[in-house]
């Protein structure tokens, strides 16, 4: 019940295309869903996050879509750029008295010019 | 504001030795969490400290321990190192909001 399942494992997109990464969770107590971007040799960087009281959040080219009934959320990267090539992790947490994050397994995104 | 800092950045140790890693959170943040990242197991939660108290603990053996000081800086210690402990160790800093910010990590290699 603590797992967060992420797909696909890897993704190849052409420059200008849309990248879509999906995550699913079981624990309905989760109330915070962040996405992290990680470049080789670096720590994960917080990209965008959502709480279950909204169905979508957009920040620049990055959008989270959240489906509470299906217990799924996804990251959409519009107009993908070569500089977006990185590993993306979804995560979930139940923020009552803890900051513990449960991470998905990661998606390696490659954007080709 | 300065970000999360971790020292050292790289470390090579021999099996059986022990190691201490350090993390300084973002100024004003009182929560520090530690994660282990490996290619096989991904990002796994080790433990979390808040105001010098361990608030949560992951499923790791007792060889892994940590502490937090009054200035919110945190250390984690791994005793009797095993080859499987080779990993990137990350700490995350949390304030009053929901956001968690990660440091660059310490790359530990056990030979």
**What distance separates the 2 farthest-apart alpha carbons in chain B?**
40
Dist CA A111 CA B16 (whole Å): 43
Residue A43 has its nearest CB partner, among B56, B58, B102, at B102
Alpha helices for A1-113 (secondary structure H) = none
Say what the pLDDT of residue B1 is: 67
| Contacts for B59 with CB less than 8 Å, ≥ 6 apart | none
Can you give chain B as a three-state secondary structure string? CCCCEEECCEEEECCCCCEEEEEECCCCCCEEEEEEEECCCEEEEEEEEECCEEEEECCCCCCEEEEECCCCCEEEEECCCCHHHCEEEEEEEECCCCCEEECCCEEEEEC
Contact A46 B99 (CB under 8 A): yes
Residue B103 has its nearest CB partner, among A36, A43, A93, at A43
Say what the pLDDT of residue B97 is: 86
Dist CA B73 CA A69 (whole Å): 40
Interval A9-18: pLDDT, tens: 999 999 999 9
Dist CA B87 CA A8 (whole Å): 24
Q: Which residue did the predictor score with more confidence, B39 or B2?
A: B39
Say what the pLDDT of residue B64 is: 98
Closest of A83, A99, A77 to residue A22, by C-alpha:
A77
Dist CA B47 CA B35 (whole Å): 7
Interval A40-78: pLDDT, tens: 999 999 999 999 999 999 999 999 999 999 999 999 999
**The pLDDT of residue B30 is above 80:** yes
Interval B58-94: pLDDT, tens: 999 999 999 999 999 999 999 999 999 999 999 999 9
Cβ atoms of A108 and A9 within 8 Å: the answer is yes
**The pLDDT of residue A1 is above 70:** no
Give every strand in the sheet of B19-24, ordered side by side.
B5-7, B19-24, B74-78, B64-68
Cβ atoms of A23 and A66 within 8 Å: the answer is no
Q: Please state, rounded to an integer, the average pLDDT across all residues of chain A.
A: 95
- Cβ neighbours of A95 in B, within 8 Å: 98
**The pLDDT of residue B96 is above 90:** no
Cβ atoms of A13 and A21 within 8 Å: the answer is no
**B31: contact with A, CB 8 A cutoff:** yes
Closest of B19, B21, B18 to residue B80, by C-alpha:
B18
**The pLDDT of residue A95 is above 90:** no
**The pLDDT of residue B36 is above 70:** yes
Average pLDDT over residues B29-51: 96
Compute the radius of gyration of chain A from its Cα atoms.
14
- Cβ neighbours of A45 in B, within 8 Å: 102
Beta bridge partner(s), residue A111: A13
């Amino acid at each position: 019940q603590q797992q967060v399942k992420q797909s696909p494992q890897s993704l190849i997109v052409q420059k200008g295309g849309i990248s879509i990464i999906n995550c699913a969770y079981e624990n309905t107590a989760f109330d915070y869903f962040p996405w992290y971007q990680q470049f080789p040799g670096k720590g994960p960087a917080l990209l965008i996050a959502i709480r279950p009281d909204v169905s979508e959040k957009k920040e620049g080219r990055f959008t989270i879509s959240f489906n509470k009934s299906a217990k799924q959320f996804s990251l959409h990267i519009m107009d993908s750029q070569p500089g977006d090539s990185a590993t993306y992790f979804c995560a979930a947490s139940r923020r009552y008295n803890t900051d513990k994050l449960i991470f998905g397994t990661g998606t390696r995104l490659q954007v080709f010019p | 504001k300065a970000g999360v800092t971790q020292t050292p950045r790289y470390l090579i140790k021999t099996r059986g030795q022990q190691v201490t890693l350090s993390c300084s959170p973002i100024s004003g943040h009182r929560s520090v969490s530690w994660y282990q990242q490996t290619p096989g197991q991904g990002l796994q939660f080790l433990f979390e400290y808040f105001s010098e108290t361990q608030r949560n603990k992951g499923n790791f053996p007792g060889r892994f321990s940590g502490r937090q000081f009054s200035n919110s800086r945190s250390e984690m210690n791994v005793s009797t190192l095993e080859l499987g402990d080779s990993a990137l160790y990350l700490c995350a800093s949390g304030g009053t909001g929901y956001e968690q910010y990660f440091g660059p990590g310490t790359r530990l290699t056990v030979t």
